């Protein structure tokens, strides 16, 4: 059957075809597992080595479901992380040199990231520039959220497949005073921000 498609419907078709094409490797991985092979769920596709250092500054892994998981061990080799993410289709501006300034709603700068009692890690979601009483949808539809966690291994940033397909640019930076070692990721024009403080604080 031929249906006349307008510009929108043609663009949507192209995008949905990509979604379908991207699902194919997933199926192959499942077949391998069923065949009795110990297929790993994630293949390491990018590892950053700090200049003169011996341990990687970051790792970028693509999961079987299309999500991309980034582990940041140290704030080093921002350019390398940008490239490794670009290889996975993620547009990201990584800049550890300029910490993101966090402000409270009444305009004071936020120097300390509040960590709830009984928790060693902090995960804070901030919505900036949103009128009072309104809330912003920081999700990617059913595709979930960008999440940032602090672990003993470093920061773990999960970028959902839906965000990658939507080509949502991410901004990855430090936040607050530099020596606090706080990592922040923001998107949707810096309106959705997630901040994680180090787990050993």
Partner 1 sequence: MDHDASAVRAIGTDPAAFEAFYREHLPAIRRFVARRVSDPHLAADLTSDVFLAAIDAAGSYKPDRGVPAAWLHGIARRVVASEVRRQATERRATRRAGARRLLDADSLARIEERIDAERELRSLYRAIADLPDRDRALLELVAVDGLEVADAAAALGIKPGTARVRLHRARRRVQADVLLPNPLEA
Kindly list the residues in this chain that would bind partner 1 in the complex (CB under 8 A).
Answer: 1-3, 5-9, 11-13, 15-21, 23-24, 27, 134-137, 140-143, 162-163, 166, 168, 188
Rounded to a whole number of angstroms, the minimum distance from the CB of residue 199 to partner 1 is 30
Nearer to partner 1, 150 or 163 (CB): 163
Q: What is the DSSP letter of 187?
A: E
Which residues 6+ apart lie within 8 Å of 183 measured at CB? 72, 75, 148, 150, 155, 157, 172, 173, 174, 175, 195, 196
Rounded to a whole number of angstroms, the minimum distance from the CB of residue 80 to partner 1 is 27
Contact 183, 107 (CB under 8 A): no
Three-state helix/strand/coil letters over 99-140: EECCECCCCCECCCCCCCCCCCCEEEEEECCCCCCCCCCCCC
Nearer to partner 1, 17 or 178 (CB): 17
Rounded to a whole number of angstroms, the minimum distance from the CB of residue 191 to partner 1 is 8
Nearer to partner 1, 30 or 101 (CB): 30
Nearer to partner 1, 15 or 111 (CB): 15
Rounded to a whole number of angstroms, the minimum distance from the CB of residue 146 to partner 1 is 11
């Amino acid at each position: 059957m031929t249906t006349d498609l307008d510009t929108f419907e043609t663009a949507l078709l192209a995008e949905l075809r990509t979604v379908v094409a991207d699902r194919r490797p997933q199926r192959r991985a499942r077949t391998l597992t069923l065949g009795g092979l110990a297929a790993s769920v994630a293949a390491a596709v990018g590892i950053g080595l700090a200049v003169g250092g011996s341990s990687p500054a970051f790792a970028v892994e693509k999961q079987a479901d299309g999500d991309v998981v980034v582990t940041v061990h140290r704030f080093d080799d921002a350019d390398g992380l940008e490239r490794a993410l670009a290889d996975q289709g993620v547009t990201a501006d990584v800049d550890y040199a300029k910490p993101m300034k966090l402000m409270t709603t009444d305009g004071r700068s936020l120097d300390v990231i509040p960590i709830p009692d009984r928790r060693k890690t902090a995960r804070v979601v901030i919505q900036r520039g949103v009128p009072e009483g309104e809330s912003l949808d920081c999700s990617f539809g059913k595709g979930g959220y960008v999440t940032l966690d602090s672990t003993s291994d470093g920061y773990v940033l999960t970028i959902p497949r839906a965000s990658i397909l939507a080509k949502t640019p991410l901004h990855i930076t430090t936040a607050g005073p530099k020596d606090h070692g706080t990592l922040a990721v923001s998107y949707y024009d810096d309106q959705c921000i997630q901040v994680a403080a180090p787990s050993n604080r």
